[in-house]
Chains A and B, each alone.
Chain A
Amino acid sequence: MMCRADQQPDPQDADADADADRTADAAFAALLEDSAEDLYENAPCGYLSTLMDGTIAKINGTLLDWLGLEREAVVGRKRFTDLLTVGGKLYHETHFAPLLRMQSEISGIALEMKQTGGGRIPVLVSSAVKHGTTGQPLLIRTTVFDARDRRAYEEELLRRREAAEEARRQAEADRARLQEALAVLQQSLLPDTLPPVPGAQTATHYHTASPDRLGGDFYDVFALDGQRFGFFLGDVCGKGPQAAALTSLTRYTLRAAALHDPDPVSALTTLNTVLHERYAGSGDPRYCTAVYGTLEPDPATGQLAVHLAAGGHPPAIVLRADGTADFLPTPGGLLVGILPSAPFTDATTVLGPGDTLLLYTDGLTEARTGQDRAGLYGDEALLAFVTAHAGKPPHAVVQALTGLLDSFGDGLDDDTALLAIGVPASDPQTRDER
């Protein structure tokens, strides 16, 4: 024998069940609503029906109550637009009516209706056209919802929106002002122009990682006495206003120390003492890395004697006219300002025609490279890069490095300073390359 899992009731039984359900439903409905007319009249929304020209043919008690109108004064006498405020009328004629004609229905339009006594009530209106059997439009059925609460809510939203818009404008203005102030401050930490050094050329570049942040790199070239010039380039720890204050202190301390005693190790030692005194006990220990040195042009030979010292800073590179390049190591120099007394190592070299001394900060060598930005650019890559530019004048070397920095894209997330000092090549052809 088959076993029916999907047992269907006998069709006759089903009919009897449905009849019983209908009877029960009707009795239940009668308990609640004994009249469709009563439901229409006293529904919690306004109902009205109009002829196609807007003449009101039927309106329910709820809407009459809301508007304070008598049925006799409305039916056959007023048009739908007569119930609206002037603004509502205009909107009705320019938007509502044409859309209703084209779409046969329209819903949720916000209008205002006039109340007897001069009040006005915000409403949401939906309308649908009833068509005859041949498709001709017969009448318009409209429901009206009281939207007072909703309108109040919308107005509140609108106010909030305006307040938010104003706050955004203010924030943008503040941001623009701050950026301008930061740019001016940043400029004050870097010289506008470098003084001309007889028999030498200089070139610089400063890359700011973010316009919102004050960078902590610095450089300068300045006259010491009738013959010699001082130069330095460095990097203070941190960013922002504290770093800027440290940069300022470092710059002016180095300048003053160099005038007092131009010896590179002496100048860095003075800087170390000053920074340590200023920051060691402050609970906010700060330090910097720096290369400081002197330049002494020899008018007789056209050569430039370089004497420099460094503390915690990447080694300078010397690019030679013959197309070679190498680091000028200053091993063992400590970070400046960390310890009460710090050893610094000095080094000397002589730049001949076509030679260039390059100073840089570690933003360059620590730029992240590769697809995943996992690798660092590094000292060796830098040396290889600049070797290809050895023999070129300082501005050409800095230009090439600027291109390199740009190529790092978002891999370059730190400030970077470049300072190149060179002796013009004696060969006029090379010099013309500038």
Chain B
Amino acid sequence: MRLERLAGMDIASRNHVTVTGNPQGPTVVLAHGFGCDQNMWRLTVPALVDDYRVVLFDHVGSGRSDASAFSEERYASLDGYARDVVEVCEALELRDAVFVGHSVSAMIGVLAAGLAPERIGALVMVAPSPRYIDDEGYRGGFSAEDIDELLASLEANYLGWSAAMAPVIMGNADRPELGDELRNSFCTTDPDMARVFARTTFLSDSRDDLKGVSVPTLVLECTQDVIAPREVGAFVHQAIPGSALVTLEATGHCPHLSAPEATNQAIVDFLASL
């Protein structure tokens, strides 16, 4: 028992788990996607806290997670992130939680629900994509060369790409003034770890996992999303039996930031229907 508690505490600090909201209410887990951290949900949390217990966390390598827990091997596949989600659920002893995942985390939620069906009772997939690269009979929105370009940019432009955010992030001991100046910035990411996450995110193909989803699922897509175009939203909706699809009047890949009212309403309606 004692060991389990200790392990639970380790997981909580590893993923910088934050629990807020109504302790008596059903639990909603909010998972951020590639590029940011749990701050992404700042406009969503207020809509949930009265009625739900809200769990936020950072994927390892993002935000204020424990960077020492990073392993290139573990996080080279979405399964590694999904196992983390299951461990967070176990540490909090969650049952039938609603998992709200943005972008790549929508697919991580699908995998986690498959690993621990008793922990996750419903899914909300915000701007999901099971595969970013076009394939025969499938349009993901990107060619393999496009993704190579992204990854090459990440590799080659260490300074360029991440110059604005890397210093924050790396906690440059020899240049403390950078940390001070940027301490309030959000979405801190270690560039090396971000590279691994980017590769895992954009090169994964999780299409086959969709049909295994057996829990109530809401798919949220945007009218204009470069990263997850509407064909992809339709694909996810059709692939998951019994899922609901809501198209938000929103531009970009982050409707919870660009159209928070509509996004929150769709989530709250779905939660109320469970």
Q: A384 within 8 Å of B by Cβ?
A: no
B107 to chain A, nearest CB (A): 15
Residues of B within 8 Å of A54, CB to CB, are 251-252
Asked whether any CB of chain B lies closer than 8 Å to the CB of A151, the reply is yes
Stretch at the interface among A86-94, A287-295, A327-335: A86-94
Instruction: Among A85, A94, A102, A110, point to the contact of B227 (Cβ < 8 A).
Output: A94
Q: Report if B254 contacts A (CB, 8 A).
A: yes
Tally of B interface residues using CB under 8 Å: 38
Given known A87-B153, A93-B254, A95-B36, contact A158–B158 (CB-CB < 8 A): yes
Cross-chain contact of A52 among B42, B186, B258 (Cβ < 8 A): B258
For the side of the interface on A, what is the size category? 20 to 34
Q: Which residues of B contact A87 (CB under 8 A)?
A: 146, 149-150, 152-154
- Alpha-carbon separation in the docked complex, A95 to B187 (Å): 8
Interchain CB contact under 8 A, B42 and A102: yes
| A227 to B200 CA separation, bound complex (whole angstroms) | 75
Tell me the nearest residue of chain A to B186, going by C-beta.
A102
> A109 near B164 (CB under 8 angstroms)?
yes
Q: Does A122 contact B (CB under 8 A)?
A: yes
Binary contact track B151-175/A, C-beta < 8 Å → 1, others 0: 0111011111101110000000000
**Would you call B164 and A97 a contact (CB within 8 A)?**
no
- Inside 8 A of B158's CB, which chain A residues have their CB? 158
Q: Mask for A126-162, Cβ within 8 A of B = 1, else 0? A: 0000000000000000000001000100110110000
Whether B33 lies near A94 (C-beta < 8 A) is yes
Q: Does A10 contact B (CB under 8 A)?
A: no
A348 close to chain B: CB less than 8 A: no
Q: If A98-B257, A102-B42 touch, does A154 touch B163 (CB 8 Å cutoff)? A: yes
Docked-complex contact A98 and B142, CB < 8 angstroms: no
Residues A94 and B252 in contact, CB atoms below 8 Å apart: no
Q: How far is the CA of A332 from the CA of B153 in the complex (A)?
A: 77
Minimum CB distance partner of A156 in chain B: B159
Contact: B164 with A98, CB < 8 Å? no
> Interface SS of chain A: helix, strand, loop or mixed?
helix
Closest to B157 in A: A110
Q: What CA separation (Å) do A54 and B252 show in the bound complex?
A: 9
- Interface residue B24 (Cβ < 8 Å from any Cβ of A): no
The docked-state distance in angstroms from the alpha carbon of A151 to that of B258 is 31
Q: Does A431 contact B (CB under 8 A)?
A: no
Question: What distance in Å separates the Cβ of A118 from its nearest Cβ neighbour in chain B?
Answer: 13
A99 on interface, CB distance cutoff 8 Å: yes
Residue of B nearest to A110 (CB): B160
Which residue in chain B gives the minimum CB-CB distance to A90? B150
Is A53 within 8 A of B42, CB to CB? no
Residues in A with CB closer than 8 Å to B227 are 90, 93-94
Q: Is A81 an interface residue (CB 8 A)?
A: yes
Q: Is the CB of A85 within 8 A of B149?
A: yes
Instruction: Report B18-47 CB contacts with A as 1/0, cut-off 8 Å.
Output: 000000000000000111100110100000
Q: Cβ of A86 and Cβ of B146 under 8 Å apart?
A: yes
Q: Mark A60-102, 1 if CB is under 8 A from B, else 0.
A: 0000000000000000000101000111111101110111011
What A residues does B273 contact at CB under 8 A?
Answer: none
Given the complex, which residues of A lie within 8 Å of B257, measured CB to CB?
Answer: 97-98, 101-102
Looking at the assembled complex, report how far the CB atom of A142 sits from the nearest CB atom of chain B, in whole angstroms: 14
Q: Which residues of chain B come closer than 8 Å to A86, judged between CB atoms?
A: 142, 146, 149-150
B185 within 8 A of A: yes
In the complex, what distance in Å separates the CA atom of A112 from the CA atom of B152?
A: 13
Task: Tell me if A107 is interfacial: C-beta within 8 Å of chain B.
Answer: yes
A187 at the interface (CB under 8 A from B): no
Beta-carbon contact of B164 and A93 below 8 Å: no
Q: How far is the CA of A79 from the CA of B225 in the complex (A)?
A: 12
Residues of B within 8 A of A109 (CB): 164
Which 10 pairs from chain A and chain B are nearest by CB? A94-B35, A53-B251, A87-B153, A110-B160, A101-B257, A154-B159, A93-B253, A86-B146, A87-B150, A95-B35
23 A-B contacts (beta carbon < 8 Å): A53-B252, A85-B149, A87-B146, A87-B154, A89-B226, A90-B150, A91-B153, A91-B161, A94-B103, A97-B252, A97-B254, A98-B36, A98-B187, A99-B186, A99-B187, A102-B257, A103-B186, A108-B163, A110-B157, A110-B160, A110-B161, A155-B159, A157-B159
Q: Mark B residues whose CB is within 8 Å of A.
A: 33-36, 39-40, 42, 103, 142, 146, 149-150, 152-154, 156-161, 163-165, 185-187, 202, 224-227, 251-254, 257-258
Q: A88-B153, A97-B258, A101-B257 are in contact. List 8 more A-B contacts (CB 8 A).
A: A87-B149, A87-B150, A89-B226, A94-B35, A94-B253, A98-B187, A108-B164, A110-B164
Residues of A within 8 A of B (CB): 52-54, 79, 81, 85-91, 93-95, 97-99, 101-103, 106-110, 112, 122, 147, 151, 154-155, 157-158
